[in-house]
A and B are shown apart, each in its own frame.
Chain A
Amino acid sequence: MLITGVSGCGKSTLALALCGLIPSRIPGEMRGQVMFRGRALSGLKPHQASQLVGMVFQNPNLQLINQTVQSEVAFGPENLALPHHEIVSRVSWCLEVTGMEGMRKASTITLSGGQKQRTAIAATLAMKPQVLVLDEPLSDLDPVGAQEVLATLQRLARSEGTAVVIIEHRVDEVAPWADRVVLMDKGRVVLDQPPRQAWADPGPWARTGVGVPDVVRLAHALPDAFGGALPLSVEEAAQQLSGTWVVPALAQAAAARAASADLRARLEPEPAPDSRPPVLAWEDVSVEFDGKRAVSDVTLQVAEGEFVALIGANGSGKSTLVSLTVGMGTPSAGQVFFRGQPVRPGKVFEHAAQVALLLQAADEMLFEDSVIAELRFGSKFRALPPDPVLDVEGAIEFFGFKGLEQVSPWELSQGGRQRLALGALLVGAPGVLVLDEPTTGQDAEHMQSFLRLLDAIRSRTGLTVVAVTHDIRGLASRAERIVALSDGQVRLDGPTHHVLGQIDELRQCGVLSPPLPRLQSQLLGHCDDVLLTVADLAAAVSACRPEKVGGI
Chain B
Amino acid sequence: MQNILVRTILSYLILFGTPMLLPVLFIKLVGLGGIRDLVTYEPRDTPLHKLDPRLKVLYPIGMGTLSIILNWDFMLIVFGLTIIPWFWLKPSRAKIRVLMVLVIGPAIAGFWSQGLYYLPPAPIHFLWQFPWTLSWMGSPGITTYGMVFGLQQTARVLVTVSTSMLILISTDVGDFTWAFERFRMPPAVGFAMTAALRFLPEMVARTTLVLRAVELRGYDMSRPKFIQFTRWPDYVRRLSRAIVIITVPLLVGSLRGTTTMAMVADARGFGVNRRRGSLIEHPLTRYDIAGYVILVGLVVTAIVLRIFHIGARPY
Query: A residues touching B (Cβ–Cβ < 8 Å)?
Result: 19, 21, 24-26, 45-47, 49-50, 54-55, 57, 59, 61-68, 70-71, 74-84, 86-88, 91, 105-109, 123-124, 127, 290, 326, 328, 346-350, 352-353, 356-357, 359, 361, 363-367, 377-379, 381-382, 410, 424-425, 428
Q: Mark B255-275, 1 if CB is under 8 A from A, else 0.
A: 011001111111111111101
Contact of B222 among A62, A67, A79, A350 (CB under 8 A): A350
Bound: A47/B268 CA distance, A = 6
Least Cβ–Cβ distance between B239 and chain A, in angstroms: 13
Bound: A359/B120 CA distance, A = 58
Asked if A349 and B277 sit within 8 Å, CB to CB, the answer is no
Asked if B266 and A381 sit within 8 Å, CB to CB, the answer is no
Seed contacts A348-B221, A367-B245, A379-B218; 14 additional CB < 8 Å A-B pairs: A25-B263, A46-B269, A67-B197, A68-B174, A71-B172, A75-B174, A88-B279, A127-B268, A348-B222, A349-B218, A349-B222, A366-B249, A424-B217, A425-B217
For the A-B complex, the count of residue pairs with Cβ-Cβ distances under 8 Å equals 195
Bound: A346/B209 CA distance, A = 14
A81 surroundings in chain B (CB, below 8 A): 272-273, 275-277
Contact of B213 among A21, A62, A78, A364 (CB under 8 A): A364
* Given known A-B contacts A21-B263, A349-B222, A381-B220, A364 and B206 have beta carbons under 8 A apart: yes
Asked if B174 and A66 sit within 8 Å, CB to CB, the answer is yes
By beta carbon, the residue of chain B nearest A105 is: B43
Asked if B173 and A425 sit within 8 Å, CB to CB, the answer is no
Least Cβ–Cβ distance between A293 and chain B, in angstroms: 16
Size class of the contact patch on chain B: 35 or more
Bound: A350/B222 CA distance, A = 9
Asked if B216 and A65 sit within 8 Å, CB to CB, the answer is no
By beta carbon, the residue of chain B nearest A347 is: B222
Q: Mark B50-74, 1 if CB is under 8 A from A, else 0.
A: 0000000000000000000000000
Asked if B222 and A65 sit within 8 Å, CB to CB, the answer is no
Asked if A74 and B267 sit within 8 Å, CB to CB, the answer is no
Asked if A87 and B278 sit within 8 Å, CB to CB, the answer is yes
Is B234 an interface residue, CB under 8 A from the partner?
no
Q: Mark B191-235, 1 if CB is under 8 A from A, else 0.
A: 000110110011000100110111111111110000000000000
B210 surroundings in chain A (CB, below 8 A): 364
* Given known A-B contacts A65-B195, A66-B194, A109-B40, A353 and B218 have beta carbons under 8 A apart: yes
Asked if B253 and A348 sit within 8 Å, CB to CB, the answer is no
B270 surroundings in chain A (CB, below 8 A): 47, 75, 79
Asked if A75 and B268 sit within 8 Å, CB to CB, the answer is yes
Asked if A62 and B279 sit within 8 Å, CB to CB, the answer is no
By beta carbon, the residue of chain B nearest A80 is: B269
Asked if B272 and A74 sit within 8 Å, CB to CB, the answer is no
Asked if A352 and B269 sit within 8 Å, CB to CB, the answer is no
Asked if A47 and B266 sit within 8 Å, CB to CB, the answer is yes
Asked if B249 and A359 sit within 8 Å, CB to CB, the answer is no
B215 surroundings in chain A (CB, below 8 A): 348-349, 352
Bound: A366/B92 CA distance, A = 36
Bound: A21/B263 CA distance, A = 7
Contact of A359 among B173, B216, B248, B266 (CB under 8 A): B216
Least Cβ–Cβ distance between B102 and chain A, in angstroms: 19
Is B128 an interface residue, CB under 8 A from the partner?
no
Contact of A367 among B173, B246, B260 (CB under 8 A): B246
Asked if A84 and B281 sit within 8 Å, CB to CB, the answer is yes
Asked if A66 and B212 sit within 8 Å, CB to CB, the answer is no
Asked if A62 and B260 sit within 8 Å, CB to CB, the answer is yes
> Can you spell out 6 A-B residue pairs with CB atoms less than 8 angstroms apart?
A50-B266, A66-B194, A74-B278, A87-B278, A127-B267, A359-B209
Asked if A47 and B213 sit within 8 Å, CB to CB, the answer is no
Query: What are the nearest 4 A-B pairs in CB distance?
Result: A47-B269, A378-B218, A74-B279, A71-B174
Asked if A66 and B94 sit within 8 Å, CB to CB, the answer is no
Asked if A68 and B43 sit within 8 Å, CB to CB, the answer is yes
Contacting residues of chain B (270-292) with chain A, CB-CB under 8 angstroms: 270-273, 275-279, 281
Asked if A66 and B198 sit within 8 Å, CB to CB, the answer is yes
* Given known A-B contacts A21-B266, A62-B257, A68-B43, A359 and B213 have beta carbons under 8 A apart: yes
Least Cβ–Cβ distance between B250 and chain A, in angstroms: 9
Bound: A127/B272 CA distance, A = 13
* Given known A-B contacts A79-B270, A79-B276, A363-B252, A352 and B41 have beta carbons under 8 A apart: no
B206 surroundings in chain A (CB, below 8 A): 364
* Given known A-B contacts A21-B267, A328-B212, A363-B252, A65 and B42 have beta carbons under 8 A apart: no
By beta carbon, the residue of chain A nearest B267 is: A50
By beta carbon, the residue of chain A nearest B197 is: A67
Q: With a 10 A CB-CB cut-off, give which of A25, A75, A81, A346 has the most chain B CB atoms.
A: A75
Q: With a 10 A CB-CB cut-off, give which of B209, B245, B263 has the most chain A CB atoms.
A: B263
Asked if B40 and A57 sit within 8 Å, CB to CB, the answer is no
Bound: A107/B281 CA distance, A = 20
Asked if A50 and B268 sit within 8 Å, CB to CB, the answer is yes
B220 surroundings in chain A (CB, below 8 A): 349, 381-382
Bound: A425/B218 CA distance, A = 9
